[in-house]
Amino acid sequence: MSNPAPSLGTGVIPPLVTPCGPDGRVDRDGLAAVVERVIGGGVHGLFVLGTTGEGPALSMEQKKSVVTTATEAAAGRLPVLVGVTDASFDGVRELSIHAAEAGAAATVLAPPPYSPTAGPELIHYLDAVADASPLPVFLYDIPSRTGAVPPEAVRHAMTLDRFVGFKDSSGRMVTLHEVIRERDANRPGFKVLVGPEELLGEAVLFGADGGVAGGANLFPALFVALYEAAAAGDLAGVRRLHGVVMEISATLYRVGQHGSSFIKSVKGALAELGVCGGGLAMPYEGFKPEDRPKVRKLLERAQTAVDASLGAVAS
């Protein structure tokens, strides 16, 4: 599979993990290896410093290192989106400027964490970001981390030229349908991306432009095939590939505990593949030695299922 140059915000855009060394510094070689892995799998863009990339846990210096490393590794082959969510408006502005200088294509912004924002306050905030940002911006709804983005704020973002899309990680298909309806009625071309990879096929079938699938760090070709099947209206293909995605979600991603299990599993599996280390930024910790054989076994099982599903697509 190849990665043709789609418009910004279309297709499979994996939220890249952030490999970290024992000293907490960004493992630039490891991140570059992840970039090469996903580009080789045919993805359509790259997203750094999201939830999967542990962006909120990194210092500004670390974040800038991630952005510089990813844009240099991508070398203009694919657009790079940068998560700039921060409790501080100055932090959002500083990282946005660095992203532009490094050659990123756009930023991704959720409401500021810790400070609850009602509808009018969030609209005021979006206006300020639109005025300050040197790059196009995707509004990011991730209620579990920052509180929900209310419908009026999404509608307002569609009136701002600087905002070019919406990433929905709420997990609520009703929300996604509402945004697609507003987009079609008021701003065609405003990109709509789904966050949970378990909803990728369904979302694209109903009009979303693509998805931000964390599992594409591991199995990029699987998610590209699922996106392509959905975009083509191939229901049988979507069902077959979606089944593999759900199997991975129910097994490999469940090793570990609490909210860190997904990130920990993806990083641990990448370590088993020799792509990068499996360490996590504080406050999380990587797998204990006794967990690694389980990760290895589930990874092997997942790879067998992925290979079989992609073989069926090829035939």
Mean pLDDT to the nearest integer, 115-142: 93
Is 167 noted as a catalytic residue in this protein? yes
Strands (E), 6-117: 11-12, 46-48, 80-83, 106-109
Catalytic residue among 167, 191, 264, 267: 167
Confidence of residue 4 (pLDDT cuts 50, 70, 90): low
Residue 264 or residue 95, greater confidence: 95
**Residue 290's pLDDT band (boundaries 50, 70, 90)?**
confident
pLDDT in tens, 182-237: 999 999 999 999 999 999 999 999 999 999 999 999 999 999 999 999 999 999 99
Instruction: Establish if 184 belongs to a structural domain.
Output: yes
- The pLDDT score that the predictor gives to residue 23 is 80
Query: Is 253 known to be catalytic?
Result: no
Question: Does residue 18 fall inside a structural domain?
Answer: yes
The residue among 279 and 161 whose pLDDT is bigger is: 161
Decide which of 233 and 279 is more confident: 233
Residue 143: per-residue pLDDT = 85
Q: Give the model's pLDDT for residue 285.
A: 80
> Which H or E run includes 193?
strand 191-194
Rounded to the nearest 10°, the torsion over CA 94, 58, 272, 314 is -30
Dihedral sign computed on CA atoms, order 106, 110, 112, 114: negative
CATH number at residue 124: 3.20.20.70
Is 25's pLDDT higher than 90?
Answer: no
Residue 83 lies in a domain: yes
Q: How confident is the model at residue 271 (pLDDT cuts 50, 70, 90)?
A: very high
Q: Is the pLDDT of residue 313 over 80?
A: no
pLDDT confidence of residue 127: 98
Does residue 125 register a pLDDT over 90?
yes
Residue 312 to residues 63, 123, 241, 301, 308, Cα–Cα distance (Å) = 40, 47, 10, 17, 6
Tell me the longest C-alpha to C-alpha distance in the chain: 53
% of residues, the chain, pLDDT over 70: 96
- How far is 9 from 73, CA to CA, in rounded Å? 19
Asked whether residue 226 is assigned to any structural domain, the reply reads yes
Q: Which of 63, 125, 140, 191 is catalytic?
A: 140
For the segment 65-94, the average pLDDT, to the nearest whole number, is 98
Name which residue leads in pLDDT, 294 or 313.
Answer: 294
Residue 34 resides in a domain: yes
Q: Is 149 helix (H, G, I), strand (E, B) or coil?
A: coil
Domain around 105:
11-233
pLDDT given for residue 1 in this prediction: 54
Is residue 264 predicted with pLDDT exceeding 70?
yes
Q: Is 304 annotated as a binding residue?
A: no
Higher pLDDT, 131 or 311: 131
C-beta neighbour count of 3 within 10 angstroms: 19
* Mean pLDDT calculated for residue range 161-171: 96
Phi-psi region of 138 (alpha: psi -120 to 50; beta: other; left: phi over 0): beta
Residues 80, 115: contact at Cβ < 8 Å? no
- Of all residues in the chain, what percent carry a pLDDT higher than 90? 82
Q: Worst-scoring range by mean pLDDT, 45-59, 124-138, 226-240, 250-264?
A: 250-264
Q: What is the overall mean pLDDT for the chain? A: 94
Domain annotation covers residue 271 = no
**289 within domain boundaries:** no
Mean pLDDT value of segment 21-42: 94
**Is the pLDDT reported for residue 174 higher than 90?**
yes
Does 159 carry a binding-site annotation?
no
Going by pLDDT thresholds of 50, 70 and 90, the confidence category of residue 5 is low
**Structural domain total, the chain:** 1
Look at residue 247 in the predicted model and tell me its pLDDT.
Answer: 97
Taking residues 104-122, report their average pLDDT.
89
The single residue listed with the structure tokens 């298909």 is 173
End-to-end CA, the chain: 14
In a domain, 100, yes or no: yes
pLDDT at 119 over 90: no
